[in-house]
A = this chain, B = another copy of it.
Amino acid sequence: MSKSTGCCQGFLHYVFDYETPKTLIIPSIRVGFVFRFTQFLVLLYVVGYVCVVQKAYQETDSVISTVTTKVKGFAFTNISDMEPRFWDVVDYNIPPQGDGSFFVLTNVVMTPGQTQSRCAELPNPSTTCEDDCDCVEGYNDPRGNGIRTGLCENYSSIVKTCEVLSWCPLEIDTKLPKRALLAEAENFTVLIKNSITYPKFNFHKRNILSHINSTYLKTCEFNRKTDPDCPIFRLKHIVSEAGEDFQDMAVKGGVLGILIDWSCNLDWWGRKCYPKYTFRRLDNKHPDNNVAPGYNFRFAKYYRTAEGEEVRTLIKAYGIRFDVIVFGTAGKFGIVPTIVNLGAALSFLSLVPMVADWFMLTCMKKRDLYSRQKSTYLVEESEVESASMSTTYGTQ
């Protein structure tokens, strides 16, 4: 044989010689049982827990969603402070566009006829005065309602307060009706249309499921037991499922979450993808640390008088803001997570022989026999070396 052939053969031996561990077969049913049982436990975890319960073989994606809402209902109010008034959706639903967050007005403090002018401040310790000297002109009290003109005026026949430049007459929001003005709002309904996408899986779905027909939709009303798929919700029902009382909440307002859970399994063998509705109050009800409890905001309707002066009706609107919150995760078989989880399981399987070895060499009667045949001590070719080795250990 030539030299190059020899070299080539050496390389082939290096690459293709297969080195396999020598093994000792132990015909003990106990050891075998421990081995198989531990294997079984690991497999049980992998198949049972990782695959079936956790579905860890799935890739996941987060939901993308659009919501449109449409509130229906009207009410008639007739209380002493206000003219009788008919309210339709345009009056109480703000903003009107029907986004995922909509507000239903339930209580109101109206201050009509405000103009840019001067008036006496609302009386409180820092605004009452004896004469003009008590009122600094141009002073801008952050808790007040306007810029002081420097005059001290009669607020009522009893009390004098500093005059301010502001939108007058000032709003008096302490006379909030104890019973909500639009108590009837509890019977309003809202239609929620929600369409979702899982972009990674190119999956689209709507909350109006395909088996629902138009006739059903015209009359149905959401009920967890009888009509769990109906996308029309009575406001009272939403609030009571959130554990609150509508009439209580209506007085000072609040924020209520309509949570739509779109957790989906998109594997073809177990496809399941339905919206699940839950309701939860999102602001705190009676905490110790609540500033501005409830939910309200002010807005105004601006008018012009015949003389061209700007007049506004200031409205402090109390009500319930409904936030439609869509969340969820879709899972679908993915090769990478499968491999990763299988790999982790295999790692644990490779621990099983260690457990069995430990059991065999520790707990079995014949452990010495096993140990002698399994492990061989390195046989030094000269006893001197061996002795020096021991010395090395001893002195280090």
Q: Give me the interface of A with B, judged by CB distance under 8 Å.
A: 1, 5, 8-9, 12-13, 15-29, 31-33, 35-36, 45, 49-50, 54, 56, 62, 64, 66, 68, 70, 72-74, 76, 83-86, 88-91, 94-99, 101, 103, 116, 140, 142, 145-147, 165-167, 187, 189, 191, 193, 195, 197, 199, 206, 208, 210, 212-214, 216-218, 255, 257, 259, 261, 280, 282-284, 287-292, 295, 297-304, 306, 311-312, 314, 321, 323, 325, 327, 335-336, 339-348, 350-351, 353, 356-357, 360, 366, 369-370, 373-381, 385, 389-390, 392-394, 396
Residues on B with beta carbons closer than 8 Å to the beta carbon of A97: 94-95, 101, 103, 297, 321
Q: Is the CB of A217 within 8 A of B291?
A: yes
A195 touching B297 in the complex, CB below 8 Å, given contacts A20-B26, A20-B374, A146-B74: no
Contact A195 B340 (CB under 8 A): no
Q: How far is the CA of A305 from the CA of B208 in the complex (A)?
A: 44
Chain A at the B interface: SS class: mixed
Q: Which residues of B contact A291 (CB under 8 A)?
A: 191, 208, 214, 217-218
Query: Is A378 in contact with B26, judged by CB distance below 8 angstroms?
Result: yes
Assembly stoichiometry (copies): 3
Docked pose: A54 CA to B337 CA in angstroms: 11
A311–B137 Cα distance when bound, in Å, is 36
A378 B25 Cβ-Cβ under 8 A: yes
CB of B72 within 8 A of CB of A142, answer yes
Q: Tell which of A213, A291, A374, A389 has the most Cβ of chain B within 10 Å.
A: A291
